Structure 1
Amino acid sequence: MPARTASLPWSAARSLLLAALCLALLLALPAAAAPTTAVKRGLVVLVQFPDVSHDLRRDFVQQRFSGFLNTYVQEMSFGAVSLDVEVTPDWITLPEPVSSYRIPPQNLKVDKSRVARLIDDALSRVDPGLDLSAYDFIALMLGAKMQEYGMVGLCGYPGMLGWSSEGPFTTKSGRVVRSGVAIFTSQAHPGTLFHDVAHVLGGV
């Protein structure tokens, strides 16, 4: 007599068939699109005062922004945002001593004209080949300590100066800033960098 082959119960066979169909359907579906990351471009301008000596290095500043700050932003946004930060190759020397730009540590006592003059004098001297309006945020890294400038860090524009109803911030030399500007001294710790850059990116 021919050998009898074992047959699967109908319920088991049906389960296997359904599993095979589901697998085929899954394989036929297009692959899900990978989550995209919004890249925010930043420009860090190295700014020094003619009467203040410092030992702040460009590579240290680059690491603070491209290393720590970028990593922190990516982690806090679950990969939704990253930073592409450029640091100016050379230091820009302001035309006036630090006393002309110094501000008190209390927000309500700050002379806003001094903040505006610092931003104007610094950005007017940035390489004209750089389009300032192309960046999502700009940071002025001062070659000075908090005791010399007055604050460790602040959101200068729009924060301290606010948004202008007349349009974006424009320097006296005609340079247009469509994003915002944060200001930091050499002692600014990573938390301060994130706090004020977040103000700029958030538009407040």
Structure 2
Amino acid sequence: MGGSGSGNRWRYGIKGTVDASKRLDIRYLKQHGMLRSGYYSLSWNRGGEPTGNINVRMVSGESMTVIGKWRRDASEEWQPMEKTVYLAHTACAYGGSRSWFVCPYCSRRVAVMIIDAGYVACRHCLKLTYASCNEDMIDRSWSKRDKYKAKMGGDKGLYLKPKGMHQRTWQRLRHQYYEAEMQGWQWAAERFPMIKDWM
């Protein structure tokens, strides 16, 4: 377990991801004033291309009804969809309350509902994971490497200390960057032995 190549990339049956799904985030709805009673239209884009849209009927503090159409692929007819999701509220430590969706299938309180194939449910019921969970050890190492590089302001930060950053912080980030880079190559060399000839 946890060895080179143990990530899902090298296996069949990779789970679908939340990142690639149509999501309804209650925090987004609150921020845009959509938790008040009324009708709202929402749409999704990927790479600048529209990927779907729905209408929402909101009953303030009580429920959200998702109205739209769906189909699995272009060869199928569009099917109507109308699903109601109830809301729950919990008290905040310093006053006020926080709103949640209640999954209609498992009754979990969640902040995000997923719209998929005619269902409106939480990620657990739809068996979705996050994209980072489908990464293998190589991807994880290089994701960490890229995170450290971003903290240093990109490629330039590897060679010149960013203005305003403490010397010790910069040296620590550079060390972590190169450590993650080397770890990634070590995993890659174990997974693909021919890489050892390049190292």
TM-score by structure 1 length? 0.25
Pick 1 or 2: higher relative contact order, CA cutoff 8 A, min separation 6: 1
Q: TM-score, normalised by structure 2?
A: 0.25
Larger radius of gyration: 1
| More helix by percentage | 1
Higher strand share: 2
